[in-house]
């Protein structure tokens, strides 16, 4: 919950100003192993705000981890040693024809990355463990990240079909607790076999395994 409070503080302070364009100073995360936030506000009447996650090494050099950090419960990012896992926004076209940020699970190993989209691999692990069909996982439904001893708990949504009769579709909460060892194994797989992609709004590059 501390992360949520920090981000809400950023929003309140930046929107209180009158500047047409403003970028906050780098704000280190407490016990964050060099990771920290930068928040950018554009516009006056119709303001847009984005909070990015960066890594700063011992020499002061900064590397962008992800440009759009989503506001969720728990620890976003969740950090252990030199690895950060976060729910970040990636611009996608929705069914209504409008382009918005789509929640993706991003992993980064300091100091240089690269950023890795590990969403599908993590959700596939949940499906393999639980027997839930991958198509029944609700995309863009990440609710919380929580760092535990040696593991990461991820909350999201799924649907169950026919639970209340033929043709019924009901939403349910789902949870996966994955060890940091398994997270690292997924990261190595995506780093080795992933293809370079670009986030549409920022042009920021990352790797994703199709």
Q: What is the pLDDT of residue 133?
A: 95
Does the structure show a pLDDT above 70 at 70? Answer: yes
Rounded Cα gap, residues 58 and 133, in angstroms: 45
Which pTM was predicted?
0.84
Structural domain spans, the chain: 2-196
Token match 């009901």: residue? 170
Q: What is the mean pLDDT of residues 137-149?
A: 93
Of the pLDDT bands very low, low, confident and very high (cuts 50, 70, 90), residue 10 is very low
Phi-psi map region of 96: left, alpha, beta (phi>0 left; psi -120 to 50 alpha): alpha
Higher pLDDT pick, 12 / 195: 195
Rounded Cα gap, residues 8 and 11, in angstroms: 5
Q: If you average pLDDT over every residue of the chain, what do you get?
A: 87
Rounded Cα gap, residues 71 and 137, in angstroms: 20
């Amino acid at each position: 919950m501390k992360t949520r409070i920090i981000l809400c503080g950023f929003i309140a302070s930046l929107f209180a100003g009158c500047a047409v364009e403003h970028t906050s100073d780098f704000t280190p995360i407490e016990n964050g192993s060099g990771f920290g936030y930068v928040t950018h506000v554009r516009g006056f009447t119709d303001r847009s705000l984005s909070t990015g996650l960066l890594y700063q090494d011992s020499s002061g050099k900064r590397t962008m981890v992800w440009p759009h950090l989503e506001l969720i419960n728990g620890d976003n990012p969740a950090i252990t040693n030199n690895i950060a896992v976060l729910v970040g926004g990636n611009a996608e076209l929705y069914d209504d024809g409008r382009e918005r940020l789509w929640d993706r699970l991003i992993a980064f190993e300091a100091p240089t990355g690269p950023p890795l989209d590990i969403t599908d691999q993590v959700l596939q692990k949940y499906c393999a463990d639980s027997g839930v069909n991958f198509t029944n996982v609700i995309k863009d439904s990440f609710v919380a990240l929580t760092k535990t001893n040696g593991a990461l708990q991820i909350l999201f949504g799924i649907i169950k079909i026919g639970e209340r009769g033929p043709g019924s579709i009901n939403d349910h909460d789902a949870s996966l607790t994955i060890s940091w060892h398994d997270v690292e194994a997924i990261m190595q797989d995506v780093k080795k076999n992933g293809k370079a992609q670009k986030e549409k709004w920022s042009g920021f590059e990352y790797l994703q395994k199709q």
